[in-house]
Amino acid sequence: MRQLKLIITILFLLLAISACSEDNPVENEAADPAEGLTKIAEYSFSDTLATLYTDAEIETGYCKFYLKLTKVSDNSPIENAAVSMKTLMDMGTMKHSSPMENPASNHAVNGLFECAAVFIMSGMWEVTFVINEGSEFTTSLDVSATERVRNIVGSDDKTYFVTLIEPMKPLVGMNDFEVCVHQRESMTSFPAVEDVNIVMTPSMPSMGHGSPNNENPVHKQNGHYLGKVNFTMTGDWLVELYLSRADSLLVTSFDITL
């Protein structure tokens, strides 16, 4: 009798364990690093599958790209590769590139190689990704217009691009404020500018007031400047930026609506 009870108990435990294992996914199953991203292109070469993703609409301004590399023969991720990108807009009578940011290293971050481009005007662009200097693929992108990038000629007669990155979804209260600054050296060279001083003045023209406790953007890396902007109420705000660099002064502004 005692042995029968023991057998019944063991069977019950085995059934419980089996049920739990069916209800719960395998814990160490790798998550897809591209989950939540939008696939925009795919290209195969040799034993490699390159899949390109983005996390937002393709618009003028700062646009991030994520490249996932997979070994076709065994479907394993490729974590080390030299990845770079090129942009081109062919306007018929002229061609030009745009500011770009290549991956910080040859090692994927969370399974993805992250790049970025600042599309300085709307229209059709060609974006080319080069992998290990031996393989490349090009995709065409229809870039829609926004008001998030400004083309400014400074008092030094040089052309600069100031791009609003954050806030993308402004809220009442304190918001992260981020811009990136690039200079046009030629039609194919747009280096990041890392030595400007920025004074930010937010105001609400319709109400005749500004806001307190704002923090001027300061340089962090690669021409990116981070600060804080305080929107005290909903409505239309004007954020004016005064950028000084050596003997040059640049003035621009962004309209932000809550």
Per-residue pLDDT tens digits for 174-225? 999 999 999 999 999 999 999 999 999 999 999 999 999 999 999 999 999 9
Q: How far apart are CA 140 and CA 249, in angstroms?
A: 36
Percent of the chain, pLDDT > 70? 88
Among 1-15, 32-46, 139-153, which range has the highest average pLDDT?
139-153
75-93 average pLDDT score: 94
Residue 5 clears pLDDT 60, i.e. is over it: no
Q: How far apart are CA 133 and CA 128, in angstroms?
A: 12
CATH number of the 38-143 domain:
2.60.40.1930
**In the structure encoding, which two tokens stand for residue 16, read together?**
């419980």
Q: For domain 149-257, give its CATH number from 3.90.1150.10, 3.30.1200.10, 2.60.40.10, 1.20.1250.20.
A: 2.60.40.10
Per-residue pLDDT tens digits for 240-252? 999 999 888 999 9
Read off the pLDDT band of 16 (50, 70, 90).
low
> Length of the chain, please?
258
120-132 average pLDDT score: 96
3-19 average pLDDT score: 49
218 and 226 in contact (C-beta within 8 Å)? yes
pLDDT at residue 219, as a whole number: 98
List the beta bridge partners of residue 243: 198, 250
C-alpha distances out from residue 239 to 165, 180, 224, Å: 13, 15, 17
Residues 6+ apart with CB under 8 A from 120: 60, 98, 99, 149, 151, 161
Percent of the chain, pLDDT > 90? 81
Residues 6+ apart with CB under 8 A from 155: 247, 248, 249, 250
Same fold flag, 38-143 and 149-257? yes
Sequence ranges of the domains in the chain: 38-143, 149-257
